[in-house]
Amino acid sequence: MINYLKKRKPKYVFVVVAYENKAMIAAAHNNGVEVVELQHGTISEYHLGYNYPNKEDKGLEYFPDKILSFGDYWKEVANYPINEKKYHIYWISLFR
């Protein structure tokens, strides 16, 4: 993957399940490639892939830069690993 990213130099990597593609996301981030996740189901405070109870920026290297979501509702349903003063997720609603 790293060789591919260095050779092709993509601007974006799209993933469907970020928590199952951590190595690819980390490699993309290390090579300056933006990672976009496509929401693939429901997200809640009980979803282990998106709920980080301690917001201390842990796990950011494995978390996408943007999420294409089903709508604005999904911004507030879990504790994402983002320190809102330093980082934020760009939410792009697929349905408006």
For residue 90, the model assigns a pLDDT of 57
For residue 74, the Cα-to-chain-centroid distance in whole angstroms is: 13
Ranking 1-5, 7-11, 21-25 by mean pLDDT, the lowest is 1-5
How far is it, in rounded angstroms, from Cα 29 to Cα 27? 5
Name the nearest CA neighbour of 22 among 43, 45, 1.
1
Give the model's pLDDT for residue 71: 75
pLDDT for the residue numbered 82:
62
What tokens appear for 64 in the block? Answer: 């996408």
Looking at per-residue confidence, does 96 or 21 come out higher?
A: 21
C-beta separation of 60 from 83 below 8 A: no
Summarised one tens digit per residue, pLDDT across range 32-84 is 999 988 888 898 889 888 887 776 656 678 888 888 877 778 777 887 776 55
